[in-house]
Amino acid sequence: MTTTDINNYTHTQGQQAKTASALMARAPAAVKSRALRALARLLRENVQALQQDNARDLERAVAAGLDAPMVDRLRLTPKVLETCAQGCEQLAAMPDIIGEVSGMKQQPSGIRVGQMRVPIGVFGMIYESRPNVTIEAASLSIKSGNACILRGGSEAIDSNKALARLVVQALQEAGLPEHGVQLVQTTDRAAVGQLIAMPQFVDVIIPRGGKGLIERISAEAKVPVIKHLDGNCHTYVDDPCDLDMAVTVADNAKTQKYSPCNASEGLLVARGVAAQFLPRIGAVYAAKGVQMRACPEALALLQSVADVDVQAATEADWDTEYLAPIISVKVVAGLDEAIAHINQHGSHHTDAILTRDHMHAQRFLRDVDSASVMVNASTRFADGFEYGLGAEIGISTDKFHARGPVGIEGLTSLKWVVLGEGEVRQ
């Protein structure tokens, strides 16, 4: 396609989304649920066909020399598809928050004023590799009464096209507009540039992917962006603390999975418990092959641990999101230093204190400037499903609009509703 073709194509999609969004916004809860259940059924009925389309993406990926984890993320197994189907059914069963009116109060003038929850309108989503995100985004869009335009990775284009066809079929079965969910069918990169620069059609952009992608989109977008940048998360072991619990939680926060953004990348330990705690967690990490990058004081306490992999931390370590079996370790004087370190070096994503001290817990919750602040729990819990949101369109590291895991509510806004009996302004 020429640049003009791309512009026309994206413009048309924008216009269609805008038109569809008015119909999606007023769709009754039962109709949206019908579409979601139809989509679940269609996913199950089409497992084989979807795998055939997916196979073309996989072949191309292997031929292009993508590494095994990348190819794995592309794969639509029956299990992945069943999880997608169940996700749709769970959303269908959740209460519908669109149209909810809250806070209706009478004012001195006599008018009653409240707020109604309404869809944002149209969101654009830009993501990479995993084709199942197509279904996650489409189903959240349907449930929240928005229209959306989805731009998946070029490596998953055949899978995404096949999935998007089923979404359109489900929308039509339920009597919803076919343009309620649209996939950008071209893999031309120019389409992304267009999609993020149509404020007349698109209300918000949600990029999901590497930091480079998100920074580029944020810099160029002409509409608001729900950003998810780094997760440099911390676990702080306070004094006093139940050290058995601390070992279990600090272990889980780092090693339950290394790649997620909510895994802890830094371990801070209060001086008063360091001599007891560090050799214990050091042994656990040693057994799992986790490398520690330690401050001099921690280094001294860790070096005698059997099979330990520990080295001196550099300044850069405090600011690094490893996404790997590596963790930075620092002994701090206590709560104040821990909070200061986290606010300076962390990425305002998720940070936890492990403590028995009530005042320390309260201060940590108040003063740590992160989207999720935790007491006596693993940072790995920072997740839309674990928070009971029922779904997650992304995790926001912004403070504006939505912060932390973003579920259906993050795709809505509140409009003011005023009910009167002929009141006028004096």
Residue numbers at the binding site for a second copy (CB under 8 A): 22, 25-26, 99, 105, 107, 109, 111, 113, 116, 118, 120-121, 203-204, 224, 242, 245, 248-249, 251-253, 256, 343, 352, 354, 365-367, 369-378, 380-382, 386-388, 398-401, 403-405, 413-425
Q: How far is the CB of 336 from a second copy (least distance, A)?
A: 12
Amino acid in position 62: V
**Distance between CA atoms of residues 185 and 202, nearest Å:** 17
Q: How far is the CB of 376 from a second copy (least distance, A)?
A: 4
Minimum CB distance to a second copy smaller for 307 or for 369: 369
**Distance between CA atoms of residues 57 and 245, nearest Å:** 45
- Return the number of other C-beta atoms located less than 10 Å from residue 26's C-beta: 13
Minimum CB distance to a second copy smaller for 3 or for 102: 102
DSSP 28: -
Q: How far is the CB of 90 from a second copy (least distance, A)?
A: 13
The SS3 assignment for 180 reads helix
Comparing CA positions, the residue from 181, 173, 178, 238 lying closest to residue 34 is 173
Minimum CB distance to a second copy smaller for 282 or for 404: 404
Minimum CB distance to a second copy smaller for 207 or for 224: 224
- Return the number of other C-beta atoms located less than 10 Å from residue 338's C-beta: 24
Q: How far is the CB of 162 from a second copy (least distance, A)?
A: 32
Minimum CB distance to a second copy smaller for 299 or for 352: 352
Q: How far is the CB of 256 from a second copy (least distance, A)?
A: 5
Minimum CB distance to a second copy smaller for 133 or for 226: 226
Q: How far is the CB of 184 from a second copy (least distance, A)?
A: 22
CA atoms within 13 A on the CB side of 271: 7
The SS3 assignment for 330 reads strand
**What radius of gyration do the chain's Cα atoms show?**
24
Tell me the residue ranges of DSSP E strands in 128-198: 147-151, 181-183
Minimum CB distance to a second copy smaller for 59 or for 215: 215
Q: How far is the CB of 205 from a second copy (least distance, A)?
A: 11
DSSP 51: H
**Distance between CA atoms of residues 252 and 231, nearest Å:** 16
